[in-house]
Chain A
């Protein structure tokens, strides 16, 4: 199986943004999705750095892919979306609007925020030029297996969300701004203070969600450490890792070791806990009764 690094979901400083891609050039990942997924207001802060990051990744032998926004409403956002293909690298659509504006016949990838739940939708996307689909994270292993088989028949690589806070919802409203008593138009970039998202706790003070501007994520970090063999047997061709702060490049290397059988099931999870003892992990969307569940809890890790 290959490794894909998904688009950074968070608003990082321009320096931290560039460092991520410089670091990734030295990791054993196969492709890297970059660009703005969550909020169009963030893009101007690092847009001019994208060409250099693309060059760095290409020189390191990685495939760079440019993401679309997850929710396109404004005129400016439609323009941004229509211009994605001009960069000359493959586009990952995360809103079907991007498909509507891609040049006819262009090959493209489909990201985790497009609703690909069944074989018909997969076949329809393949017919329009999709070569790779990262499935919606909420899909359980049964449908994942069926879609992996269908993908093989259609020549579409199927990818599964394996690491990082789960993108659970996208809204027209900015929750970071709302929490600061502001509106989206006057957000003053409140989300920048939380480079991994802001913890949202329940009334019994349990960690639950993470706020990231217009996006809502899981507080737990998805980790498919215990499902690697299951996913490989299902015919999944790549796992997706989502950027986070800390030693993300190190985490990518660890995942490569896990896929190569150099470390045992549970070792990625153990390393995540060593780095951050209070981290909560989840893999319930794939194999549990609800997304927040963690199979490692049963194994005592």
Chain B
């Protein structure tokens, strides 16, 4: 299976390629992609250079242009599609129907992948995207179990790509405005979720409060590590019960499910983390390359390689197991 690896910077791209990535994905340094963080992403020149480097090493580059273009400013997103093609990208990853339509009409030879931000969660809609816009691959939303993924693959010619490691959206991707409700900035409009600009840590008598947009959603004792206050992983109270009502501060690790995902017909495994350091990326990529090579050779997947890299040390297989719901 193909591993699709994150590159937030040119250095991370080179590290991922050298570590054995079949494919890397990255974005331009603006609001056209869903990891629009300060200090991250690629200039036009860096993208051209990155594609050259990857191609020279036999790896592919996908360019994520997966926020929803702002009314009145669509040129920025269309230019990003054009520039990805000029840079020699192997595909663009898009979510917005209007932008997909534009890309299909104006850049028909540029391969189109459907972003997870489109949350296409069944074979009917995936086949529809293929008919309407010539989409060749879909990144599946993190709401599906492995048998459901297998059922989708049985009904579509479109390749499927699934997340196997890193941060985990609990909500259907591209269908969530929790962040803009609290901070004014959202994944769909701005390419950010629970942005650092709205995070505040406050010392209290007992420890540390983590606030987002003025809402306290984490509280830890002295000397405890303070998790980043991502909204859906915050601590809340409802009906007299306090806890992580939406999701625990866990990250996804579906490494051990690789054989099942292969059997389900999945084409590519995606690693989240364009905001991560190049050393993190290199280590994760190396481990996943070892794992997919083991899978291809019929050997067992090595155990527990990545435990120390997981956020907060706790991991989940998310929706891939039906009981997660």
Contact = CB atoms under 8 A, between A and B. Distances in A.
Contacts of B189: 117, 138-139
Given A117-B189, A120-B101, A172-B325, A143 B245 contact: no
B59 to A, nearest CB: 31
Given A120-B101, A136-B177, A173-B324, A72 B71 contact: no
A211 interface: yes
A224 interface: no
Interface string A89-118: 000000111011100000000000101011
B274 to A, nearest CB: 22
Interface in A142-199: 142-143, 146-147, 150, 166, 168-175, 177-179, 183-185, 198-199
Interface in A120-139: 120-125, 136-139
Interface stretch (B13-21, B42-50, B85-93, B179-187): B179-187
A96 B324 CA distance: 25
A171 B178 contact: no
B42 to A, nearest CB: 23
Interface stretch (B22-30, B213-221, B300-308): B213-221
A142 to B, nearest CB: 7
A95 B124 CA distance: 11
A120 B238 CA distance: 41
A120 B322 contact: no
A216 interface: yes
Interface string B136-161: 00000111100010010000000000
B98 A118 contact: yes
B181 A291 contact: yes
Interface residues of A, number: 72
Contact of B236 (A150, A177, A200): A200
For chain B, what secondary structure do more than half of its interface residues adopt (helix, strand, loop), or is it mixed?
Answer: mixed
A120 B148 CA distance: 32
B280 interface: no
A202 B178 CA distance: 14
A255 B91 CA distance: 49
Nearest to A144: B71
Contacts of B232: 169
A290 B213 contact: yes
Contacts, number: 220
Contacts of A139: 71, 189
A119 B98 contact: yes
B181 A166 contact: yes
A185 B325 contact: yes
A168 B74 contact: no
Interface residues of B, number: 68
B57 interface: no
Contacts of B247: 173
Contacts of B184: 284, 288-291
B97 interface: yes
A8 interface: no
A125 B97 contact: yes
A142 B189 CA distance: 13
Given A78-B124, A100-B128, A175 B245 contact: yes
A86 interface: no
Nearest to A190: B239
B8 interface: no
B124 A203 contact: no
* Of listed B98, B216, B234, B324, residue having the most chain A CB within 10 A: B98
A70 B175 CA distance: 9
11 contacts: A119-B72, A120-B98, A138-B177, A138-B186, A166-B177, A172-B144, A178-B245, A202-B237, A209-B236, A216-B246, A290-B184
Given A97-B122, A198-B239, 13 more contacts: A71-B119, A72-B121, A96-B128, A99-B128, A119-B72, A142-B72, A143-B72, A168-B177, A168-B181, A169-B177, A170-B176, A202-B234, A209-B236
Identify the 10 closest CB pairs spanning chains A and B, nearest first: A120-B98, A172-B143, A121-B98, A100-B128, A291-B181, A117-B68, A184-B325, A143-B71, A146-B71, A169-B171
